Amino acid sequence: MDDQYLKVVMGIIMNAGNAKGLAHEALEAAKLNDFEKANQLMIESNQSLTEAHNVQSDMLTKEAQGDHTEMNLYMVHAQDHLMTAITYQDLVKELIVLYKKDAK
């Protein structure tokens, strides 16, 4: 495995992990009715998720151009992190809406 491949895998894992962690912090802030903080944390979560997605998109673009990406357990793990972060972020958004309704 070369350094560039590892950079792609770690870029996805780290940014997706950060996105999920920030979304969780936002959920905790919403539980305390601190919706301003929750909103800021979700903005940061989105930025991290965008970074992870950009790494993935670059990889997909290269694949479409004929530069094949090796598939192994590292890449599967990275993709799992990304999809989990996306799903978790979607869930947290909905839960924040519910916490806001309950706070009124």
- Tell me the per-residue pLDDT of 49-80, one tens digit each, with 9 for 90 and over: 999 999 999 988 998 999 988 889 999 999 99
Which of 24, 68, 77, 81 is flagged as catalytic? 77
- Reply yes or no on whether 77 is catalytic: yes
Q: Residue 104 carries which DSSP code? A: -
Tokens 């950060």 map to which residue? 18
Which numeric CATH code is attached to 3-103? Answer: 1.20.58.80
pTM: 0.91
Spatial separation of the C-alpha atoms in residues 100 and 87, rounded to whole Å: 20
Q: Provide DSSP, 28-86.
A: HHHHTT-HHHHHHHHHHHHHHHHHHHHHHHHHHHHHHTT-PPPP-HHHHHHHHHHHHHH
Q: What are the sequence ranges of the domains in the chain?
A: 3-103
Q: Is the pLDDT assigned to residue 23 strictly greater than 80?
A: yes
Spatial separation of the C-alpha atoms in residues 71 and 34, rounded to whole Å: 42
